[in-house]
Amino acid sequence: MHDFAVNVQNRVLSVVRSVLQQNAIIAEVHPESRLVDIGLSSMGMVELMLKVEAEFDLILPQLEITPENFQSVKAMERMILNQLGSGAG
């Protein structure tokens, strides 16, 4: 299970970096980095949400689309693991 979580985190980091690059934001991104502090705008967050859904082939329930769930890579990773876990059961 640990490898699966690491894989999810790496994929989330990759998606975040691609969104930052598309928005011309140059910043180091770590799992605990607050995306708002890095400079991601609300439009960037929407773009990020759509890319996360595409990357993991899922549709996030409206209740999960909160600022808390998108504040950092770690928060997104937790949300995705929860979604994949509940979807796989």
Residue 86 pLDDT level (bands cut at 50, 70, 90): low
Pinpoint the alpha helices (H) of 1-89: 2-22, 35-38, 42-56, 73-88
- Range 18-35 average pLDDT: 93
- Count other Cβ atoms within 10 Å, centred on residue 87: 11
Instruction: Say what the pLDDT of residue 2 is.
Output: 81
Mean pLDDT for the chain?
91
Which residue, chain included where needed, has tokens 């808390």? 68
- Range 24-52 average pLDDT: 92
Say how many domains are in the chain: 1
Domain of residue 19: give its range.
1-87
Angle at 50 (CA atoms; ends 66, 14), nearest 5 degrees: 100
Instruction: Say what the pLDDT of residue 26 is.
Output: 93
Res 85 pLDDT > 90: no
- Paired residues of 72 in beta bridges: 34
CATH number at residue 77: 1.10.1200.10
* Percent of the chain whose predicted confidence (pLDDT) is above 90: 83
SS (H, E, C) 12-37: HHHHHHHHHHHCCCCCCCCCCCEHHH
Instruction: Say what the pLDDT of residue 5 is.
Output: 87
